[in-house]
Chains A and B, each alone.
Chain A
Amino acid sequence: MIDMKRRTFLKGSVAAGAISAAMGAGLLTPRMVLAAWPTAAFEAKTVDSALDALMGSHQLEGSDKISIRAPDIAENGAVVPISVETSIANPESISIIAEKNASPMTASFLLGTGAQGFVSTRIKMGKTSSVIAVVKADGKLYSTGKEVKVTIGGCGG
């Protein structure tokens, strides 16, 4: 019992530390933060911690205004085409997350002035998992997911 509490406490303090570090960096200039590659987010091992590191939150709101185009079955996990399109007004960024990859955060696209809510790329997936698209708009995170079956993994040898 005591040990359980200690675990929760440790987890909590680590998360709080990460957020405050991110906020501290944010105080410098927003532009600088955009330019710096978010190492912590890409090295995070879970979807929640990756989102915390990148966006400062993992409160996702399901949205039907985001559509993911990806194959139902990917024969080759090394090349999985993913397109994300959103009709949410003023999207700030679109992130693509492969839930069961060793490092789930795959790519994050920061949309500048004039950029439309659309990105298309190809990613590697280690195994069957859901692909989550996270759109940031108005300081909120919206998401939708799609299951992609992978026949041959593409992340390890």
Chain B
Amino acid sequence: MASIKIRAKLSGDVTTVKTLIKHPMDTGLVKDKKTGNVIPAHFIQEVTCEHGGNKVMTAMWGAAVSKNPYLSFKFTGAKAGDTIKLSWVDNKGESDSAETQVS
């Protein structure tokens, strides 16, 4: 599953991470227009980003984060060529992760 697009760019000593995740982020409040049934909640609850075994960022999300979420954040301490790992877990226990090199 390649659900994650991730880029990490170093500028000075600050690394900016930008990521797009493919996910429906269903709130559990919307009805399916064809069947009239409520589409059950299905959303990412936790996104973590690691650099050298250190969790630089943990995001706790509710269902109100938009479909196919975008996330960007900054951290210091990485060098060009370092690997960072991003992973997510949703409320159904599904998960995915991706790695990229800081450029």
Contact = CB atoms under 8 A, between A and B. Distances in A.
A122 B66 contact: yes
A79 B66 CA distance: 6
Contact of A121 (B45, B54, B71): B71
B70 A122 contact: yes
A121 B72 contact: yes
A116 B54 contact: no
A109 B75 CA distance: 13
A113 B46 CA distance: 18
A156 B30 contact: yes
A20 B14 CA distance: 39
Interface of B: 14, 25, 27, 29-31, 33, 45-46, 51, 54-67, 69-78
Interface in A94-114: 98, 101-103, 105-114
Contact of A119 (B14, B45, B62, B73): B73
Given A114-B54, A123-B66, A157 B76 contact: no
Contacts of B51: 114
B58 A156 contact: no
A155 interface: yes
B82 to A, nearest CB: 12
Contacts of B65: 106-107, 121-124
B23 to A, nearest CB: 12
Interface of A: 34-35, 37-38, 42, 78-81, 83, 98, 101-103, 105-116, 118-125, 154-157
Question: Dominant SS at the B interface?
Answer: strand
B64 A113 contact: no
A111 B57 contact: yes
B57 A112 contact: yes
A47 to B, nearest CB: 13
Contacts of A106: 61-62, 64-65
15 contacts: A37-B60, A38-B60, A107-B62, A108-B60, A109-B58, A113-B77, A114-B77, A114-B78, A115-B57, A116-B75, A121-B70, A122-B65, A122-B66, A124-B66, A155-B64
A114 B55 contact: no
B34 to A, nearest CB: 12
Contacts of B27: 124, 155-156
